[in-house]
């Protein structure tokens, strides 16, 4: 009995001991680090959690730039802290890891960006074909190689804007387009350029530039002498030396530009240079340049300048007044030469003269078919030389007159022994409409007081072809529409001439004066027929700079949405046989009949368009639907637009465009095709979505 009692006591004690041993252990929660520092770059860091319980994570400060994964766990594990890139000053964050009983914290610091010194080559490498904003604190060391300051400030004034300058570090160069005129930094100044938040961009297939950089971001650190890097003409055409100061040997001015000055008339001028190895490039000179009246040296040798590109045409611009002094050698030729730069010339009804540059290395003579009214001097010569054609006033107030200037050579080494320059002189100070032809691109022309229909011809491969036609409003000094055919050959691959001038077929009193832009208005001189649509020759390109082809166009629209539509149009033209284009400017709309005006360079009132439009007719041989024709239209208000590129939503049918404008487009089509294409609008067929 006693033994049984003792056994019961022992069993009770064992039960009590067992019950005590089953109480839960205390929670543990710790980290391998409680303070973390990130650099400015986006990055991850691991933190080891040691625990015997469930836990959660919260970012209690700095959650806009710091995140944590996972947000909960059980037992020992790792968490990852992820920091976004820091573009500002030092910043802090806090992270809490907690369980039911425990809590630990991590203090986080992210440093501001360090200054990153980069070469100009490394800066250029950031650009990948579209505008790019520099987000890091990049600083570039370089030297100013341009001298675009005004002449009275010691510069060559050799650019279209005082906001531009070019810098190079010897291995590469880049253009700076500043937020304000540069009157501070001079050629040879060594500078440091702060580039954070600046944009790299290319305008109109031109040079890569830092766009809109404040002068405050540029600091002078010293000076150094300018040294040209010797390259070949072939090297220049690779584009690898863009915005560098270069010396190109074995070159001479092209025959057709002999005897010209670096600036012709009052326009920015490109003089063609040719290498002994046959490559060609341009010397670009601003019409403001201090050396504009210097005659281009006729000899061969070395020419220096800042390498550049404009609209895919490679060029140099002078950095010093001695850059052309190396052209002192004898000229070189590879074969007998006898040619004219153009076969067509239009002149106004007033008496005047012009110079035609014959390119030749043979003896020649020249005669006029109308020696009483169109005289030539000299009458003969040897080699390349300018010939001056002087003409009298056209006595007619309504009719044109013409003459042929005939160049001849007896040299048997040339392929063509006779060259003819056909001159058409407009009536004397009379605005006369041309005969209206059945050209596919022409809207229906209705006679209207104070309006005139004018057409221009040009030559392509020696054949006379139509250039463009327009419906001109003499009272408001603008064309209501410009119509033209567009195809691969006439687009060409030459360069922009910037030869802003009067249209020789319209009396000057009816034209706006636009040698410079609309002063202080914010409007660009917007081309209706774009310069880039006519790069076959200097002659045809110059016709796009006639004042009758220009309108007061919102600068942002011109340079962005409208400019990109023009690029699309050229692409569509390249992909078909012919694209027929009508570009128009409406100074009144159905909703707003008021006409707004801006002043030209002489204070004349010029109407401001309320909207612009394009109507396109595409012809592609081999397609059976609608005889191979299809059409589309676009219109945009003359204001700043947020969109940069046309979309399918912008597309309109020709019928819609006729309702908008009141014009009858493509009426020379067969009636059944006209009705079909005017009602149809298929943006997808034009690559729009």
Which of 223, 252, 273 is at the close of a domain? 223
188 vs 142: CA distance, rounded Å: 10
Question: Do 135 and 271 belong to one domain?
Answer: no
- With vertex at residue 684, the alpha carbon angle to CA 681 and CA 689, rounded to the nearest 5 degrees, is 110
Nearest to 318 by CA among 200, 226, 180: 226
Question: Do 447 and 552 belong to one domain?
Answer: yes
Question: Do 524 and 645 belong to one domain?
Answer: yes
Looking at residue 340, what is its pLDDT?
85
DSSP 8-state code for residue 563: H
440 vs 433: CA distance, rounded Å: 19
Task: Name residues of the chain where pLDDT drops below 50.
Answer: 16, 18-20
Question: Do 501 and 625 belong to one domain?
Answer: yes
Looking at residue 350, what is its pLDDT?
83
Question: Do 661 and 524 belong to one domain?
Answer: yes
Q: What is the CATH number for 576?
A: 3.40.570.10
Q: Is-contact 341 537, C-beta < 8 A?
A: yes
Residue 252 within a domain: yes
Looking at residue 357, what is its pLDDT?
79
Q: Is-contact 619 576, C-beta < 8 A?
A: yes
Question: Do 542 and 576 belong to one domain?
Answer: yes
pTM above 0.85, yes or no: no
Looking at residue 334, what is its pLDDT?
65
Looking at residue 9, what is its pLDDT?
52
Residue 219 within a domain: yes
| 3-state helix/strand/coil string of 85-111 | CCCCCCEEEEEEEECCCCEEEEEEEEC
Q: What is the CATH number for 193?
A: 2.40.50.140
29 vs 27: CA distance, rounded Å: 7
Residue 24 within a domain: no
DSSP 8-state code for residue 453: E
Looking at residue 12, what is its pLDDT?
55
Looking at residue 520, what is its pLDDT?
59
CB contact set of 446 (below 8 Å; sequence gap of 6+): none
Q: In the chain, how many domains are there? A: 5
Which of 181, 199, 223 is at the close of a domain? 223
Q: Is-contact 570 534, C-beta < 8 A?
A: no
Residue 68 within a domain: yes
The DSSP secondary structure of 567-624, one letter per residue, reads HHHHHHHHTSSEEEEEEEEES--SS----EEEE-TTS-EEEEPSEEEEEEEEE-TT--
Question: Do 648 and 678 belong to one domain?
Answer: yes
Looking at residue 7, what is its pLDDT?
58
Question: Do 613 and 540 belong to one domain?
Answer: yes
Q: What is the CATH number for 75?
A: 2.60.40.10
Cβ count within 10 A of residue 460: 16
Residue 201 within a domain: yes
Question: Do 88 and 168 belong to one domain?
Answer: no
DSSP 8-state code for residue 209: E
Give 423: exposed, middle or buried? Use CB within 10 Å, 0-12, 13-18, 19+.
buried
Looking at residue 438, what is its pLDDT?
95
505 vs 429: CA distance, rounded Å: 9
Nearest to 305 by CA among 232, 239, 243, 223: 243
β-pair type (327-329, 300-310): antiparallel
Question: Do 437 and 421 belong to one domain?
Answer: no
Nearest to 528 by CA among 573, 593, 581: 581
Long-range interactions of 628-632: CB distance < 8 A, separation 24+: 628/577, 629/669, 629/673, 629/677, 630/677, 630/680, 630/682, 630/685, 631/666, 631/677, 631/678, 631/680, 631/681, 632/681, 632/682, 632/683, 632/686
Strand order across the beta sheet in which 629-637 lies: 451-460, 463-473, 478-486, 578-586, 611-619, 629-637
Which of 223, 250, 279 is at the close of a domain? 223
359 vs 259: CA distance, rounded Å: 11
Residue 8 within a domain: no
Residue 7 within a domain: no
Domain that holds residue 355: 337-430
271 vs 324: CA distance, rounded Å: 12
Q: Which two tokens stand for residue 78?
A: 């790792």
Residue 15 within a domain: no
CB contact set of 214 (below 8 Å; sequence gap of 6+): 178, 179, 180
Question: Do 557 and 677 belong to one domain?
Answer: yes
Question: Do 513 and 576 belong to one domain?
Answer: yes
């Amino acid at each position: 009995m006693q033994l049984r009692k003792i056994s019961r006591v022992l069993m009770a004690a064992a039960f009590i001991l067992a019950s005590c041993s089953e109480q839960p252990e205390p929670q543990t929660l710790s980290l391998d680090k409680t303070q973390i520092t990130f650099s400015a770059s986006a990055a991850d860091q691991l933190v080891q959690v040691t625990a015997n319980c469930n836990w959660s994570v919260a970012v209690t400060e700095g959650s806009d730039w710091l995140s944590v994964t996972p947000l909960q766990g059980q037992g020992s594990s790792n968490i990852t802290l992820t920091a976004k890139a820091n573009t500002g000053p030092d910043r802090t964050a806090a992270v809490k890891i907690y369980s039911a009983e425990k809590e630990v914290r991590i203090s986080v610091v992210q440093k501001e960006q360090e200054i990153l010194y980069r070469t100009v080559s490394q800066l250029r490498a950031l650009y990948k074909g579209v505008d790019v904003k520099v987000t890091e604190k990049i600083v570039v060391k370089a030297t100013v190689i341009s001298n675009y300051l005004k002449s009275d400030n010691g510069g060559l004034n050799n650019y279209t804007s005082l906001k531009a300058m070019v810098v190079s570090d010897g291995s590469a160069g880049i253009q700076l387009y500043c937020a304000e005129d540069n009157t501070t930094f001079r050629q040879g100044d060594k500078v440091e350029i702060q580039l954070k938040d600046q944009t790299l961009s290319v305008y109109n297939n031109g040079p890569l530039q830092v766009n809109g950089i404040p002068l405050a971001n540029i600091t002078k650190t010293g000076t150094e002498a300018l040294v040209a890097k010797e390259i070949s003409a072939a090297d220049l055409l690779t584009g690898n030396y863009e915005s560098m100061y270069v010396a190109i040997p074995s070159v001479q001015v092209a025959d057709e530009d002999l005897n010209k000055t670096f600036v012709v008339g009052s326009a920015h001028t490109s003089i063609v240079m040719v290498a002994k190895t046959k490559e060609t490039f341009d010397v670009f000179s601003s019409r403001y340049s201090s050396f504009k009246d210097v005659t281009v040296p006729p000899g061969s040798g070395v020419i220096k300048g800042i390498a550049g590109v404009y609209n895919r045409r490679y060029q140099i611009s002078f950095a010093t007044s001695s850059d052309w002094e190396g052209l002192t050698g004898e000229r070189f030729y590879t074969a007998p030469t006898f040619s004219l730069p153009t076969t067509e010339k239009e002149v106004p009804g007033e008496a005047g003269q012009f110079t035609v540059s014959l390119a030749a290395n043979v003896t020649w003579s020249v005669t006029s078919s109308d020696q009483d009214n169109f005289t030539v001097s000299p009458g003969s010569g040897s080699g390349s030389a300018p010939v001056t054609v002087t003409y009298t006033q056209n006595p007619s107030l309504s009719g044109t007159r013409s003459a042929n200037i005939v160049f001849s050579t007896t040299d048997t080494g040339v392929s063509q022994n006779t060259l003819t320059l056909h001159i058409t002189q407009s009536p004397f100070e009379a605005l006369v409409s041309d005969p209206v032809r059945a050209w596919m691109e022409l809207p229906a022309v209705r006679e209207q007081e104070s309006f005139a229909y004018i057409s221009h011809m040009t030559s392509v491969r020696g054949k006379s072809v139509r250039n463009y036609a327009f419906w001109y409003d003499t009272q408001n000094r603008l064309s209501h529409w410009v119509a033209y055919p567009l195809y691969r050959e006439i687009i060409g691959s030459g360069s922009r001439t910037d030869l802003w001038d009067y249209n020789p077929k319209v009396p000057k009193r009816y034209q706006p004066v636009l040698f410079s832009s609309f002063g202080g208005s914010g409007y660009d001189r917007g081309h209706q027929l774009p310069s880039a649509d006519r790069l076959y020759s200097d002659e045809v390109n110059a016709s796009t700079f006639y004042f009758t082809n220009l309108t007061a166009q919102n600068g942002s629209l011109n340079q962005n949405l409208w400019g990109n539509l023009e690029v699309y149009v050229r692409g569509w033209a390249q992909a078909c046989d012919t694209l027929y284009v009508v570009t128009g400017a409406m100074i009144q709309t159905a909703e707003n009949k008021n006409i707004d005006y801006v002043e030209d360079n002489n204070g004349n009132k010029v109407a401001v368009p309320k909207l612009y439009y394009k109507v396109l007719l595409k012809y592609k041989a081999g397609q059976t639907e609608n005889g191979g024709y299809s059409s589309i239209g676009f219109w945009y208000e003359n204001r700043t637009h947020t969109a940069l590129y046309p979309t399918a939503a912008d597309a309109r049918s020709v019928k819609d465009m006729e309702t908008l404008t009141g014009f009858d487009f493509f009426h020379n089509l067969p009636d059944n095709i006209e009705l079909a294409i005017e009602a149809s609008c298929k943006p997808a067929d034009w690559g729009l979505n």
